[in-house]
């Protein structure tokens, strides 16, 4: 590695820092780019810069979008009585592709993982309670779908959200009266799998088979 030009070594190190990219893959990518025409590299670099410059985070659902609020949150035709909680924007995209869900979303940007020093305060978690009410403080969501991944971290996050609501007197009363249903994404997703890799049919069945928590 030390015999490689400095520019090559530095770019390999940058690629290695990306998730899922090992040393060999990083080297192959860099040498592929090394033989790419300069104008294509310039366009590639511009797209990388635009990734941060031309995207925003929706202040309502925390999805990555081109505008704030995002197109989904602005869509009044969506079912305002449904709110689906997902871990990542890719999970939201996967559920949208299933074509079986027409409610709103809330993106956590992760899951509770104590071993990785990720707790509730590191996620967009506590403002879920505000999403369930309207501007008058009245309940506007009738079903909260916890669609976190079926992993240990995802299950822990779903249970934490459910307990958070059940320990709040306002929401506890609504849950007891059946005015607010907390459901967990159902069958169709194998334990240990990530939502973003599931096909549309599997996701559709999971949404249709969701259960109370």
Does the pLDDT value for residue 1 go beyond 60? no
Q: What is the pLDDT of residue 44?
A: 94
Which H/E stretch holds residue 6?
helix 6-16
**3-state SS track over 18-57:** CCCCCHHHHHHHHHHHHCCCHHHHHHHHHHHHHHHHCCEE
What average pLDDT does the segment 103-128 reach? 95
Say which CATH superfamily domain 6-53 falls into: RecR Domain 1 (1.10.8.420)
What average pLDDT does the segment 102-129 reach? 95
Q: Which of 40-44, 61-65, 197-201 has the lowest mean pLDDT?
A: 197-201
Q: What is the pLDDT of residue 187?
A: 64
What average pLDDT does the segment 50-59 reach? 95
pTM (predicted TM-score): 0.82
Residue ranges of the chain that CATH labels 3.40.1360.10: 77-212
Does the pLDDT value for residue 107 go beyond 70? yes
Q: State how far Cα 6 lies from the chain centre.
A: 37
Q: What is the pLDDT of residue 12?
A: 96
Domain 77-212 has CATH 3.40.1360.10: yes
Does the pLDDT value for residue 3 go beyond 70? yes
Q: Distance between CA atoms of 41 and 33, rounded to whole angstroms?
A: 7
Does the pLDDT value for residue 2 go beyond 70? no
Does the pLDDT value for residue 27 go beyond 70? yes
Q: Distance between CA atoms of 45 and 64, rounded to whole angstroms?
A: 20
Going 99 to 144 to 89 to 79, the CA torsion angle's sign is positive
The percent of residues in the chain predicted with pLDDT above 70, rounded, is: 97
Model confidence over 140-191: pLDDT tens digits? 999 999 999 988 999 999 999 999 999 999 999 999 999 999 999 876 767 7
Residue ranges of the chain that CATH labels 1.10.8.420: 6-53
Task: Please say whether the beta carbons of 16 and 26 come within 8 A.
Answer: yes
Average pLDDT over all residues of the chain = 92
């Amino acid at each position: 590695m030390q015999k490689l030009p400095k520019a090559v070594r530095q770019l390999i190190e940058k690629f290695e820092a990306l998730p899922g990219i090992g040393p060999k893959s990083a080297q192959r990518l860099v040498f592929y780019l090394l033989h790419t025409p300069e104008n294509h590299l310039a366009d590639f670099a511009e797209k990388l810069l635009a990734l941060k410059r031309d995207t925003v985070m929706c202040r309502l659902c925390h999805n990555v979008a081109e505008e704030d609020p995002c197109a989904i949150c602005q869509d009044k035709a969506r079912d305002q009585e449904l709110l689906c909680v997902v871990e990542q924007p890719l999970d939201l995209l996967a559920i949208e592709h299933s074509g079986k869900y027409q409610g709103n979303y809330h993106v956590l940007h992760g899951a509770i993982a104590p071993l990785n020093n990720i707790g509730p305060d590191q996620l967009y978690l506590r403002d879920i309670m505000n999403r369930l009410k309207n501007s008058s403080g009245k309940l506007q969501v009738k079903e909260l779908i916890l669609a976190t991944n079926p992993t240990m971290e995802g299950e822990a996050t779903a249970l934490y959200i459910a307990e958070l609501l059940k320990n709040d007197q306002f929401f506890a009363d609504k849950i007891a009266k059946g005015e607010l249903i907390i459901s967990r994404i159902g069958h169709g997703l194998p334990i240990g799998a990530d939502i973003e890799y599931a096909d549309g049919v599997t996701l559709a069945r999971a949404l249709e088979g969701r259960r109370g928590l």
